[in-house]
Amino acid sequence: MKKIVITGALGYIGTELCKIYSGFSHQYEIVAIDKQFYSERVNRLNNWGIKFIQCDILNKDLLRTILKDTDLVFHLAGITDVPQTNLEKSNKKEKLIQKVGVEGSKNIIKFSEDYTKIIFPSTHVVYEGLKDIEKNIKESKPPVPVLEYAKGKFQTEQDLKLSNKNYVILRLGSVHGLSSDSTRLNVMPNLFAKIASQNGSIKLFSGGKQLKSLVSVQDVARCMQFVAENNEISKSIFNCVSENVNVKKVATLCKKYSDSLKLVTSDDPIPNLGYTLSNKKILKEGFEFLYNLENSLSEMIEYWKFNDIEYKNEYIVQGKDSFVDYRGLITNFYFDEEITSIGYVDSKKGSIRGNHYHPIQTQKCLLIKGKYISITKNLLDDSSVVETRIINEGELSIIKPNVAHTMVFLEDSILLNLVNGGREHENYGITHTLQHKLVDNKMAEFLIKNYKHTCRCCNSKNLELVVSLGNSPLANNLLDTKNEKFDIFPLEMFVCKECFNCQLSVVVPPKIMFDKYLYLSSTTDSFKKHFHTLVKKLNKENLIDKNSFVVDIGSNDGIFLEPLQELSVNCLGVEPAKNIADIANKKNLKTINAYFNKNIVNKILKDFGKANLVTAFNVFAHSDNLHDIATNVESLLDEKGTFIFEVQYLVANMKLGIVDNIYHEHVNYWSLFSIEEFFKHHEMIVYKIEEVDTHGGSIRVYCTKDQNKNIDKSINKYRKKEKDFGINKIDTYFKYRDDILLKKNNLINLLKKLKETNNSVIGYGAPAKATTLLNYLKLSDKDIKMVVEDNPLKINKFIPGTKIKIVSSNQLDRLKKYNFLVLAWNFYESIIKKNQKTYTNSKFYKFN
């Protein structure tokens, strides 16, 4: 068996050389020696099958034993922390350099076998005594060493030549590049990269014009192996350099990757103007340099600089540097820390894993097969909320310490748990696993049945979490008593990275939300005015007349039907909430109590025929089956019929950082961009769009089955507007999330200030958005005494999750001082107009 000895194996070059030869340890006997002992490096060598012996090359007895029967020696040992100029010299240091460098090398030569091949790294600084600039120096030029380090290297060159041993000498340029914790920082390129990573200053003596020959540490190790394994190369000297540049060039490249780096030019003298070595001889032998200076510098700067990474509960990582051919896919995952064990985890559909956290460990799970919902919560942040994400096959989930996490499996799954540290569930050192029940069986069952893991518009799996409001009660399901039990459900917005549709992560069954509904559209005068104005507009634009048949989906208490009926337009409402449908019918506004589905459409067609106009006001975002709704609308409309719907405008919400328009009823959040993507799957085309002022910012969208319909100029106007806003860029959604978090802090601070006035803090209005906001801010009746409301169906109810009672404004003392937080902020102006003269001693604040 071939025996190889590497001296200085724990050093900069030695680490890289051992890495190369780790691939041969099953075939060769490889011994690594070093005077130093570094725990991690020694352990790594052991894992590679390379035997480590702590040995000083001045220890003749031990060295003689180690070198016995050795075929190949890479002699890297020596003092590398050496003076660069005469001013840095000291007699003690010089003697040590000479002793280790020269005497130690003599020992290597003496105790190696006659047949041993010795690879020795010399240095370009053997030419440091040159007085004038000289470029492309060949190996045949006599060295001119000055300092003890260079003299020692040159002496060993001479000793090897006189030894009659087989040797190869490599005169190395300045070595650069990253090599784990063994990276030398006292060489110019690496030192510059370190300074750049710390946003420091590089001082360029004499303007940085000194020439340098450079080579990467990886190429040095490769070149050593190349000359060692080539039997044709013997008793030779080679220059091992890949690039020749001046010092200023190195600094300029560092500046390219560190904007804050300062370059300071100095007139301070330098020992010489430098020189460069020629690499033609080694290239002629067939060696190829693969690594360059710029890549080395950028890698080191990136590796060492502090990245202000936003803290997230969970990071989802896709494979990189993928390769695909007819055989399938190869993809790669890169890790910053060592993996000490891999757990194979097989999980059945419907099962739950986790419900724990790690105080120290970062959990990494690579899903090989299947799909699961990942549920997390940051335990170090009292204001944090529960978040959920879908983990798809081939994705790596990374969860930071002190984040509770649970997996709910949607399919039979296999994952790899990649661990650095202990795995026992009992108390084990500082990396143990601690229980934290985040998801119970009831919630797991709900998630399995109701989680939306594909895009509602385009069916893509590529969904990204925008914002989580945690587990929240249903917005309009108010409570009869303060302590009545209620259900909570995840309330989160995701964006599809393919079509940029936004949707909730879960769909609460409609029967839970709508069978008994408390929202009455007609409560607000501004809404009544809105629909009366719309009917006049539609009549003026000839979209309706006395011969028209109009169907309004989600017609509520008939707020749109009423002005239609006043105009003698034949109209019909479809309303799923029985209590609300009854109110409409009592007003003689014809309303079917049903969900808008295929059966109801067939009934309408049979009883009334085709519709000229179908409308859906603030309901087209309420259904999970949006494609079914669109298809049913197409079936109901005549050939030139129009479909008009109003939805909250996502762009308006995002611009203002509005969060409380997110609630469980609204399963989808629309922009023109996503609407047009949606209707690509249907017969109808979008031909017009208008912005309206309901719900804090909405859009009215006009669609038709008439493919020859002229496209209104508003379409191109809003396309450009949304493109300029960045609606199809993921960073825009992350900014929205950041704006929400900022607003959250601002609202909490406002509430603190108002409570300090000792005046009662009262909420005004109990719309659905109030439930969202109050629960997201984690407020209770200790923060807001009560909420006043005009809707009689809501009075004496309680907002779930808060214990805040809803009362009639008649219960307030008009002369008392109140701080009113207007929760129905989209009606802020009308509320002020209505109440300012009534509550003359009070103040009103828009709470959004």
- Domain for residue 505, yes or no? no
Q: Is residue 281's pLDDT more than 50?
A: yes
Q: Is residue 150's pLDDT more than 80?
A: yes
Percent of the chain whose pLDDT exceeds 90:
76
Instruction: Using CA atoms of 396, 398, 403, 405 in order, give the dihedral in degrees to the nearest 10.
Output: 10
Maximum separation of any 2 CA atoms in the chain, in Å: 115
Q: Give the Cα separation of 365 and 391 in Å (integer).
A: 10
304, 324, 348 — which closes off a domain? 304
Please spell the DSSP secondary structure of 737-763, one letter per residue: HHHHHHHHHHHHHHHHHHHTTTSEEEE
Q: Is residue 188's pLDDT more than 50?
A: yes
- The mean pLDDT of 717-722, rounded to a whole number, is 97
The reply to whether 529 and 615 lie within a common domain is yes
Q: Is residue 430's pLDDT more than 60?
A: no
Q: Give the Cα separation of 848 and 845 in Å (integer).
A: 9
Residues 776-822 pLDDT 10s: 999 999 999 999 998 888 999 999 999 999 999 888 888 788 898 99
Q: What angle do CA 372, 374, 377 make, to 5 degrees?
A: 170
423, 451, 479 — which closes off a domain? 451
Q: Which distant-in-sequence residues (6+ apart) come within 8 Å of 446 by Cβ?
A: 489, 506
| Least confidently predicted of 23-37, 263-277, 398-412 | 263-277
- Domain for residue 466, yes or no? no
The reply to whether 285 and 209 lie within a common domain is yes
The reply to whether 719 and 754 lie within a common domain is no
Q: In the chain, count of helices (H) and strands (E)?
A: 24, 43
Residues 822-845 pLDDT 10s: 998 888 888 888 888 888 888 888
The band of 226, judged by pLDDT with boundaries at 50, 70 and 90, is very high
Give the model's pLDDT for residue 611.
96
The reply to whether 358 and 293 lie within a common domain is no
Give the model's pLDDT for residue 73.
98
- Domain for residue 514, yes or no? yes
* pLDDT, averaged across the chain: 91
The reply to whether 320 and 238 lie within a common domain is no
The reply to whether 353 and 322 lie within a common domain is yes
* CATH code (residue 169): 3.40.50.720
The one-letter amino acid code at 682 reads H
Give the model's pLDDT for residue 297.
97
Please spell the DSSP secondary structure of 497-535, one letter per residue: TTT--EEESB---HHHHHSS----GGG-HHHHHHHHHHH
304, 335, 354 — which closes off a domain? 304
Q: Which of 400, 384, 316 is nearest to 741 (CA)?
A: 384
Structural domain of 579: 510-649+679-726
- Domain for residue 436, yes or no? yes
The reply to whether 387 and 259 lie within a common domain is no
Give the model's pLDDT for residue 590.
95
Q: Which distant-in-sequence residues (6+ apart) come within 8 Å of 15 by Cβ?
A: 9, 41, 179, 180, 182
Q: Which of 752, 768, 548, 553 is nearest to 660 (CA)?
A: 768
- Domain for residue 655, yes or no? no
The reply to whether 299 and 321 lie within a common domain is no
Percent of the chain whose pLDDT exceeds 70:
95
For tokens 């085709």, the residue is 610
Q: What are the tokens at 158?
A: 């001479």
Residues 193-202 pLDDT 10s: 999 999 999 9
* CATH code (residue 697): 3.40.50.150
Q: How many domains does the chain have?
A: 4
Q: Which distant-in-sequence residues (6+ apart) come within 8 Å of 326 by Cβ?
A: none
The band of 98, judged by pLDDT with boundaries at 50, 70 and 90, is confident
The reply to whether 78 and 208 lie within a common domain is yes
Q: Is residue 524's pLDDT more than 70?
A: no
Q: Is residue 575's pLDDT more than 70?
A: yes
The band of 271, judged by pLDDT with boundaries at 50, 70 and 90, is confident
Residues 335-392 pLDDT 10s: 878 888 899 999 999 999 999 999 888 899 999 999 999 999 999 998 899 999 999 9
* CATH code (residue 407): 2.60.120.10
Q: Give the Cα separation of 684 and 681 in Å (integer).
A: 9
The reply to whether 232 and 370 lie within a common domain is no
Q: Give the Cα separation of 184 and 76 in Å (integer).
A: 14
Give the model's pLDDT for residue 92.
60
Q: What are the tokens at 357?
A: 């956290």
Q: What are the tokens at 74?
A: 């890479």
For tokens 């949006």, the residue is 626
Residues 438-462 pLDDT 10s: 999 999 999 999 999 999 999 999 9
- The mean pLDDT of 93-119, rounded to a whole number, is 88
The reply to whether 264 and 324 lie within a common domain is no
Q: Is residue 236's pLDDT more than 90?
A: yes
Q: Give the Cα separation of 103 and 468 in Å (integer).
A: 68
Residues 743-780 pLDDT 10s: 999 999 999 998 888 888 999 999 888 999 999 999 99
| Strand segments (E) across 428-585 | 434-435, 463-473, 488-496, 502-504, 549-553, 570-575
- CA-to-CA dists, residue 419 to 109, 361, 364, 396, 432, angstroms: 45, 8, 7, 13, 12
Residue 234: how many CB atoms within 10 A of its CB? 12
Report how far apart the first and last C-alpha atoms of the chain are (Å, whole number). 77
- Domain for residue 10, yes or no? yes
Q: Is residue 431's pLDDT more than 70?
A: no
Give the model's pLDDT for residue 428.
44
The reply to whether 765 and 821 lie within a common domain is yes
| Least confidently predicted of 18-32, 213-227, 691-705 | 691-705
Q: Which tops the pLDDT comparison, 668 or 528?
A: 668
Q: Is residue 429's pLDDT more than 60?
A: no
Q: Is residue 231's pLDDT more than 70?
A: yes
Q: What are residue 342's DSSP bridge partners?
A: 418
Give the model's pLDDT for residue 427.
46
In this structure, are residues 17 and 74 in contact, taking their beta carbons and an 8 Å threshold? yes
